[in-house]
Chain A
């Protein structure tokens, strides 16, 4: 079955620790994304990558880091510099869009999410 997997489902972190959230997809998508979801704030983009070995900061990248060494994988590290990391983290992927013709659109497919709690 094609899809996106995230692990772990629940993660607990002590203050001052770095933790890495896994995101893997077998959809052969070039683009991958990390979002953070907090109550009342919707989804906020942390980082995105449109091609292997390249990634861009989103709206709230401070305190996070990513890598994109393989097309299938886009791990997110929550560093100790992130002051309020408790949240639900969602990974997504899509085909890189082609905007050369009107009506082009590429859906983002989401993983099941990882709930991170700082103790």
Chain B
């Protein structure tokens, strides 16, 4: 079983829709949870990060962590064509030298 599971999609939505992206994980020692956005043929860039359980909002993006269910989500409101990218979840366990564990990424297309 992979430590981090993510549905690869692809996901296709109309412009303005609310998008929900999710990851599950198996190790309860994960403490930091990140979402990266990767445009085609580019390196990933950090979108949001959260520490432990709870919600964090940044503009149209909301990151949610439920440690009891080992489940994290990224919500995108009022989706735009420029949001079309692959979204990768990532997480870190403490005391592992900043080693990241990535999901497989979900490919999102927002149709104008």
Contact = CB atoms under 8 A, between A and B. Distances in A.
A96 B49 CA distance: 17
Contacts of A94: 98
Contacts, number: 64
Contacts of A50: 97-98
Interface string A107-118: 111111101000
A108 B104 contact: no
B104 A41 contact: yes
A interface, size bucket: 20 to 34
B8 A90 contact: no
A42 interface: yes
B94 interface: yes
B102 interface: yes
Interface of A: 4, 6, 31, 33, 35, 40-45, 48, 50, 56, 58, 88, 90, 92, 94, 96-97, 99, 103, 105-113, 115
